[in-house]
Amino acid sequence: MALDQSFVGRTYPPTPAYEVGREKIREFAEAVGDPHPAYVDAEAARALGHADVIAPPTFVFSITYRAAGEVVQDPQLGLDYSRVVHGDQKFSYVRPVRAGDRLTVTSTIEGIKSLAGNDILDVRGDVHDEAGELVVTTLMKLVARAAEEA
């Protein structure tokens, strides 16, 4: 079923702050098997010009994905979440995410398309720090595959 085009441009309220913990960064870096010292050693991170340990580039997705949950599960939008697959993902960084950041996410529906019965939803996440500065913008394309004919 085609999604309601009037949702394009809709922005959802910012999420409560997510505090980025250094042990969470370590856990994530270990899970992706990345031994870079800037993720676990503050000295190594500082030697590269960072204020504290930084997070791997895709770390922030865990936060923006949770924020987008509110959008994709908005009953008025009518997305069949059981048929959704992740189509595209993009990140544009102003600076890397680092330990101690308190991040809020503002999600916006960038686009809605219907292609061959598939619903395609683009959700932007603007991630700000406690000072209100933009840290990273994420773009997630979700594709809800057409339901099979009964």
Partner 1 sequence: MTAKVSYGSVEVGTELPAQTFPVTRAALVQYAGASGDFNPIHWNEKFAREVGLPDVIAHGMFTMAEAIRVVTDWAGDPGAVVDYGVRFTKPVVVPNDDKGALIEVSGKVAAKLDDNMVRVDLVALCDGKKVLGMSRAVVRLA
Q: Does 12 bind partner 1 (CB under 8 A)?
A: no
Burial class (CB in 10 A: 0-12, 13-18, 19+), 27: exposed
C-alpha span between 4 and 13 (Å, rounded): 20
Q: Which is nearer to partner 1, 53 or 109 (CB)?
A: 53
CB contact at 8 A, 55 and 20:
yes
DSSP state of 2: -
Q: Does 49 bind partner 1 (CB under 8 A)?
A: yes
Part of the chain binding partner 1 (CB under 8 A), chosen from 11-19, 50-58, 72-80, 118-126: 50-58
Q: Does 73 bind partner 1 (CB under 8 A)?
A: no
- Contact residue for partner 1 among 6, 88, 102, 117 (CB under 8 A): 88
C-alpha span between 18 and 14 (Å, rounded): 11
C-alpha span between 13 and 103 (Å, rounded): 14
> Rule CB under 8 A: which of 95-124 touch partner 1?
95-96
- Contact residue for partner 1 among 1, 2, 32, 147 (CB under 8 A): 32
Q: Does 89 bind partner 1 (CB under 8 A)?
A: yes
